[in-house]
Structure 1
Amino acid sequence: MKLLKKTVLSKLSEVLDPELNISIVDLGLVYDIKVEKSRVKIIMTLTTAGCPLISMIEGEIKNKLKEIGLKKEGVVIDLTFDPPWTMEKMSKKAKTMLGIS
């Protein structure tokens, strides 16, 4: 199971925020990944609650996870805003890309 969780995280790091062109993992949007047999639950947030691009991000997540054999119906994305996203959640790489020290 751990290997699958690590593989899922690796695939999620390939999903880019459409506006910032930075990985959702580096942005700190992925809070948790739960793996149960052939089902994956991703607990994540967005930089803003009213983000109009959520369907695009969800579609890209499901497409990336399909590459490792997960069916779209086996991927559950649980969107939360608790705790709210802050810039402190970003990786050093993301901060550097955005010019934030």
Structure 2
Amino acid sequence: MTHDQQPVRHFEVELPAELPAAPRPRDFLEGFLGQSPNPPATEDPVREAVIAALRDIFDPEIPVNIYDLGLIYAVEVADGHVTITMTLTTPHCPVAESMPAEVELRVLAVPGVATCDVNLVWDPPWNPSSMSDEARLELGML
């Protein structure tokens, strides 16, 4: 054995009979961001279903859904009528004319929603601080 070589050492490790399940990525993300992996039950299941539908709509230029991107300012539900107040990343966005119509169609497809109004506003203007922590993490900004 030369001077710079070290002897090989062998270690034995005893593993438990049953290993715990690995955490799911979403559980890890929620734990990492300091959120509860089991949020409390919501008071309005229609509103939550509308938000889920909004999370299925993605900005064509940024790979994040419009809800987590912070483009949705308000979701109001009353007796089957939904009012969405939203913005876009810029008034010159290529989907400025089509996005509100897509939002309306997706929301109207939610069970329990009879009518929907989508209000597109420019004040306050969107900025990256409007994004959720999950969106920031997805874009490598966290």
TM-score category (smaller protein): 0.7 to 0.9
Gaps of 5+ in 1: none
Contact kept, 8 Å, 1:4 with 1:35, in 2: the verdict is yes
Residue identity over aligned pairs, in percent, reads 32
SS of 1:78's equivalent in the other structure is: strand
Q: How does the TM-score come out when normalised to structure 2?
A: 0.61
Whole-angstrom CA distance in 1 between matches of 2:127 and 2:106: 25
Q: How does the TM-score come out when normalised to structure 1?
A: 0.82
Q: Which residue of 2 aligns with 1:5?
A: 47
Q: Which residue of 1 aligns with 2:26?
A: none
What is the one-letter code of the residue matched to 1:7? Answer: A
What is the one-letter code of the residue matched to 1:59? Answer: A
What is the one-letter code of the residue matched to 1:18? Answer: P
Q: Which residue of 2 aligns with 1:46?
A: 88
Deviation above 6 Å: which 4+ runs of structure 1? Answer: none
Higher RCO (CA 8 Å, separation ≥ 6 residues): 1
Contact kept, 8 Å, 1:12 with 1:61, in 2: the verdict is yes
Gaps of 5+ in 2: 1-42
Query: 1:68 Cα deviation (Å)?
Result: 1.6
Alignment of 1:94 onto 2:127: no
Query: 1:99 Cα deviation (Å)?
Result: 2.3
Q: Which residue of 1 aligns with 2:118?
A: 77
Instruction: Compare 83-92 and 61-70 and name the one that shifted more.
Output: 61-70
Whole-angstrom CA distance in 2 between matches of 1:66 and 1:79: 17
Q: Which residue of 2 aligns with 1:34?
A: 76
Instruction: Compare 19-28 and 90-99 and name the one that shifted more.
Output: 90-99
Query: 1:52 Cα deviation (Å)?
Result: 2.5
What is the one-letter code of the residue matched to 1:75? Answer: C
What is the one-letter code of the residue matched to 1:78? Answer: N
Q: Of Structure 1 and Structure 2, which has the larger fraction of its residues in strand?
A: 1
